[in-house]
Amino acid sequence: MARVLLFGRLADLAGWRDRAVEAGSLNGLRGVLAGVDPALGEALAGPGVQVAVDKTIVRGEAPLAAGSEVAFLPPMSGG
């Protein structure tokens, strides 16, 4: 199980911001999320959305260990 965190407009779109999801890789996780909520799946793949695994930005595919924290980060606005 990975812990998935959504921020900003992604959380508003999904209607949740913190959920446990069964997935062994980032692409697998994207597939699960898109299967449940296609609009969210599209938004997660949209321009400017970055992904952090265990608080480190990753690009492309990555394996997920049990207990990994995966955060989807829309474009940052600054404070």
Point out which residues bind another protein (CB under 8 A): 5, 7-9, 12, 52, 55, 71, 73-79
CB of 3 to another protein, least distance (A): 12
Q: Which is nearer to another protein, 63 or 75 (CB)?
A: 75
CB of 18 to another protein, least distance (A): 11
Minimal distance, residue 13 CB to another protein, in Å: 10
DSSP character string of the chain: -EEEEE-THHHHHHT-SEEEE--SBHHHHHHHHHHH-HHHHHHHTSTT-EEEETTEEE-S--B--TT-EEEEEPPP---
